[in-house]
Amino acid sequence: MSGQTGIAFIGTGFVADYYMTTLANHPQLRLAGVWDIDPARLQQFRSYWNVRAYASEAELLADPAIAIIVNLTPPESHHAVNRAALLARKHVYCEKPLAMTVEEARELVQLANEKGLVLAGAPANALSDARAHCAEILSSGVIGTPRLAYAEMEDGPVFLDKWQQWRSRSGAKWPAVHEFEIGCTLEHAGYATSWLVSLFGPVAKVAAFSALTFPHKGPGTENLALGPDFSVGCLTFRSGLVARLTSGLAMPRDRSLTIVGDKGTIAVRDLWDNRSPIHVELAGARRPLLHRLIDRLEWQFQRKFAFRLIAGKPIAYPRASEKNALPAYPSQIDFMRGIAVQADAIRQGAKPFFSGETALHLTDIALALNAGKRDHTPSGYDAG
């Protein structure tokens, strides 16, 4: 297909299958090939997806058919791989976080700018249909000025599940031990902060707390230095909105976002769902019949029922859903959409919203939440 942008993956672990699942949604992208430091894993991925495997990272970086390097390596490798790709004069799309320190992330942004390259970052869930729908609802003014938001990134007690048996489509093991070591915040907070920053602009202050609450997470984790499995942060935005964000590996699964304004509330059921149901409840409005009925029954039986209804009424999407390929629940995100947006921006001589400066800002916020910093001013993009 003419006009395609050549891309390549460095890293073929668990998350790479999510990208491959959604590649078909974006015919303007062409996967030139992949490489992984683990030869067995590389061969397994290559065979399953029938893609080219490069003999080395150097061979991949030297391929003139590649415009964008997609960095899907573990977070500790992000800085080195990103830097090598930029020095090879390739645009880069990196899984979160951009680097493991703010200084390294800032170095990458500066290097990309010096080279005239577009550095962009995950996650892509803030490019979802749901996020666009939520933005339209906000811009309509139906809930007035947004004042407060609660975002939840609770993954449930996965360490009590059979995580040793989990596999990706092509057979990669879920990197549970590594995720336990790096901590839930660096793995998951970005799914919420990307939404919040894209909706409300940059964060001015972070006040956070983090802790390791469950130090033993199954066989093979007894003597490891595990990262925080709980964090909570209060984010003050330059726009005036205040948000609370929790990330955890113990509380029941909850990936919702609730936004409260002067005139009402918006509730997004699942930030990992490309077309998540979104409800609006106007202040003082008569509640739906089912909600009123449940309230009456709970008063009658003098107990709280074992389920929760979402306040308000669902707001229909303005357009019908396209038949896009998405990973299975709960990861119903178009992972390749961020790369497609980046490729479009490169062709137009522009920068995507989630370019290096925004990725730096999101990385700084996640690192502050993970470290439990009590009074932190994040660096990153300027909303102007």
Neighbouring residues of 252: CB distance < 8 A, sequence distance ≥ 6: 154, 156
Structure tokens at 238: 């330059």
Q: Quote the mean pLDDT of the chain.
A: 94
**CATH number of this structure's domain 5-121, picked from the four choices 3.40.1350.10, 1.10.150.120, 3.40.50.720, 3.40.50.300:** 3.40.50.720
pLDDT at 381: 67
Percent of the chain with pLDDT over 90: 85
CATH of domain 128-324+355-371: 3.30.360.10
Q: Which two tokens stand for residue 101?
A: 């320190």
For the chain, the 3-state helix, strand and coil shares in percent, each to the nearest 5, are 35, 20, 45
Integer Cα distance of 374 and 233 in angstroms: 9
pLDDT in tens, 350-375: 999 999 999 999 999 999 999 999 99
2 band by pLDDT with thresholds 50, 70 and 90? low
Each as own residue / partner, the long-range contacts of residues 288-291 (CB below 8 Å, 24 or more positions apart, any chain) are 288/312, 288/313
Distance (Å, whole) CA 155 – CA 197? 21
| Residue 249 in this model has a pLDDT that exceeds 50 | yes
Q: Give the start-to-end residue ranges of the domains of the chain.
A: 5-121, 128-324+355-371
**Which amino acid, residue 92?**
V
Identify the pLDDT of residue 93. Answer: 98
pLDDT at 384 over 50: no
pTM (2 d.p.): 0.94
Q: Which two tokens stand for residue 318?
A: 């303005």
Tell me the two tokens of residue 351. 């920068």
Residue recorded with tokens 């005036």: 240
At position 109, the amino acid (one-letter code) is V
Distance in angstroms (rounded) separating the CA atoms of residues 22 and 18 = 7
Mean of pLDDT values over 222-240:
95
Token pair of 157, please? 């007690």
